[in-house]
């Protein structure tokens, strides 16, 4: 067997940690870098480097002895990745695709230029330009504001209802997009390798908190979205091939009231919408990503059971040590799988872990979700 490539992950949060958890089964050297010494991936201290993923020098130094680099968050130093690619390193996603995905204005422009269904949008470079778009009647309210860069987990997204909302925006590049009358929010994740294999996981339905825009729940019921699956996969395939993605690409969709699919955002990495695959898929998303970027044969994506995934989100206004008084009670729930990320500080809007409920009865799963929400105290 060929020697397994040394993989470096830029970022040491829960996604990096879960990639490492898979890699340890195969004794695969997967290393993470993060500037926080108590980040989740620091659990595997032998494979952890302290460094800033936004620093050119740190990324170059980290990548020097790696065969392949990947990311667990898009906001990394892109210049270093271009230079590492020139030096012969494999970078996934490729730096050209990542530089586009990093910027939501460029991302939306790409959809428009390549006939990817997306909501109408208007880019701006400053707050004054944003106000001018409104004053000229170019944008209609209400609409959605997104910052061009550094947005994740609902950050950098706002509902704009009036002119005052626009005046309160940060003086940074961003965009306005049409507010969609949403019937449902769906997600699909595909994985490709260099040999041309391409597989998809079962599509899921998501719910979002209307205030924080964070994803609380994911519902995976085999066959429930079969009506939309061909189009979901066609759009995702066009994105994966167009951007030359190797490894995972997660695509978030809006389904509007006219039953039209509209791409919201994409992420070239493991994604929160697919965490349930750890328990309910033949091959989970983390293993699949490693297979894809390592050019291994891709695994089967057969769905083993229905599942609901619930994000444990910090709600406390105080920065307190994470404590979970409902942990023991939840262990009594059949098919309840608890994943805690090892983050020591619980603060508002922070993903502290997730719980996946598995089973074949939809009614029972939804009842168990209520129990989890009532029992697992995350205040």
The pTM assigned to this predicted structure is 0.94
Please, where in the chain does CATH 3.40.50.20 lie?
7-92
Residue 48 backbone dihedrals phi, psi, to 5 degrees: -125, 135
Convert the pLDDT of each residue in 202-213 to its tens digit. 999 998 776 666
Percent of the chain with pLDDT over 70: 94
Q: Dihedral of the CA atoms 103, 105, 106, 110 (nearest 10)?
A: 130
> What gap in Å lies between CA 47 and CA 31, rounded to an integer?
5
Q: Cβ neighbours of residue 318 under 8 Å, at least 6 residues apart?
A: none
| CATH 3.30.479.30 is the classification of domain 120-178 | no
110-164 pLDDT, tens digit each: 999 999 999 999 999 999 999 999 999 999 899 999 999 976 655 789 999 999 9
Pairing of β 7-10 and β 30-34: parallel
Helix H segments across the chain?
14-25, 56-63, 78-86, 95-101, 104-113, 127-135, 163-167, 229-242, 277-280, 285-293, 327-330, 362-375
pLDDT of residue 1: 40
Residues constituting the chain: 379
> Does a cis peptide bond (omega within 30 degrees of 0) precede residue 248?
no
Mean local confidence (pLDDT), 291-309: 97
Q: Cβ distance 216 to 207 under 8 Å?
A: yes
Which is higher by pLDDT, 156 or 276?
A: 276
Does 379 have pLDDT greater than 60? no
| Partners of 215 in the β-ladder | none
Instruction: List CB contacts of 110: < 8 A, sequence separation 6 or more.
Output: 100, 116
| Separation of first and last alpha carbons in the chain | 49
Least Cα distance to 24 among 2, 1, 4 occurs for: 4
Asked if 54 contacts 60 with a C-beta cutoff of 8 angstroms, the reply is: no
Name the nearest CA neighbour of 56 among 80, 31, 40, 32: 80
Q: What is the mean pLDDT of residues 325-331?
A: 83
Look at residue 96 and tell me whether its pLDDT is greater than 50: yes
CATH H-level superfamily of 182-375: ATP-grasp fold, B domain (3.30.470.20)
Average pLDDT of the residues of the chain: 92
DSSP per-residue codes, 177-204: EEPP-EEEEEEEEEEE-TTS-EEEPPPE
> Residue 210 has what pLDDT?
67
Q: What is the pLDDT of residues 35-82, one digit of tens each?
A: 999 999 998 889 999 999 999 999 999 999 999 999 999 999 999 999
Distance, in Å, from the CA atom of 192 to the CA atom of 194, rounded to the nearest integer, reads 7
The pLDDT of residue 364 is 94
Indicate the burial class of 138 (C-beta count within 10 angstroms; 0-12, 13-18, 19 or more): exposed
Query: What is the token pair recorded at 249?
Result: 């690409």
Where in the chain do CATH 3.30.470.20 domains reside?
A: 182-375
Which of residues 313 and 248 earns the better pLDDT score? 248
233-253 residue pLDDT tens: 999 999 999 999 999 999 999
Q: Which residue has the tokens 């979205």?
A: 225
3-state secondary structure of 16: helix
For range 334-351, the mean pLDDT: 88
- pLDDT of 359 above 50: yes
CA atoms within 13 A of residue 263's CA, in its CB half-sphere? 28
The 3 state secondary structure assigned to 263-306 is: EEEEECCCCHHHCCHHHHECCCHHHHHHHHHCCCCCCCCCECCE
198: exposed, middle or buried (Cβ count in 10 Å: 0-12, 13-18, 19+): middle
How high is the pLDDT of residue 151? 65
Q: Is 140 exposed, middle or buried (0-12, 13-18, 19+ CB in 10 A)?
A: exposed
Edge-to-edge order in the sheet of strand 143-147:
121-124, 174-178, 143-147, 157-160
Cα separation, 251 vs 8, whole angstroms: 24
For the domain bounded by 7-92, which CATH number is listed? 3.40.50.20
Q: Are 81 and 58 in contact (CB under 8 A)?
A: no
């Amino acid at each position: 067997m060929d020697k397994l490539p040394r993989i470096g992950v830029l970022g040491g949060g829960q996604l990096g940690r879960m990639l490492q958890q898979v890699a340890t089964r195969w004794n695969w050297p997967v290393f993470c870098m993060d500037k926080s010494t108590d980040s989740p991936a620091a659990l595997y201290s032998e494979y952890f480097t302290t460094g800033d993923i936004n620093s050119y020098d740190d990324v170059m130094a980290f990548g020097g002895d790696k065969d392949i680099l990947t990311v667990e968050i898009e906001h990394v130093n892109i210049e270093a990745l271009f230079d590492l690619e020139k030096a012969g390193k494999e970078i996934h996603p490729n730096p050209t695709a990542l530089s586009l995905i990093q910027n939501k204005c460029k991302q939306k422009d790409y959809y428009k230029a390549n006939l990817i269904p997306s909501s109408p949008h208007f880019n701006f470079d400053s707050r004054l330009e944003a106000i001018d778009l409104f004053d000229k009647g170019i944008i209609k309210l209400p609409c959605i504001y997104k910052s061009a860069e550094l947005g994740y987990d609902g950050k950098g997204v706002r509902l704009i209802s009036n002119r005052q909302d626009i005046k309160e925006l940060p003086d940074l590049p961003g965009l306005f997009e049409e507010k969609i009358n949403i019937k449902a929010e769906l997600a699909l994740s595909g994985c490709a390798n260099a040999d041309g294999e391409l597989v998809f996981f079962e599509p899921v339905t998501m719910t979002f908190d209307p205030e924080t825009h964070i994803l609380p729940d994911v519902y995976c019921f085999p066959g429930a979205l079969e009506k939309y699956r061909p189009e979901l996969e066609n759009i995702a395939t066009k994105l994966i091939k167009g951007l030359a993605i190797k490894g995972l690409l997660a695509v978030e969709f809006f389904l509007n009231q006219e039953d039209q699919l509209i791409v919201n955002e994409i992420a070239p990495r493991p994604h929160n919408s697919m965490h349930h695959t750890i328990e309910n898929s033949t091959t989970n998303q983390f293993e699949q990503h490693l297979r894809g970027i390592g050019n291994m044969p891709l695994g089967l994506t057969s769905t083993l059971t229905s599942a609901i995934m619930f994000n444990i989100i910090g709600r406390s206004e105080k920065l307190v040590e994470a404590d979970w008084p409902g942990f023991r009670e939840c262990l009594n729930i059949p098919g309840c799988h608890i994943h805690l990320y090892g983050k020591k500080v619980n603060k508002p809007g922070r993903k502290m872990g997730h719980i996946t409920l598995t089973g074949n009865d939809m009614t029972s799963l939804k009842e168990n979700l209520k129990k989890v929400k009532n029992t697992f105290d995350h205040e």
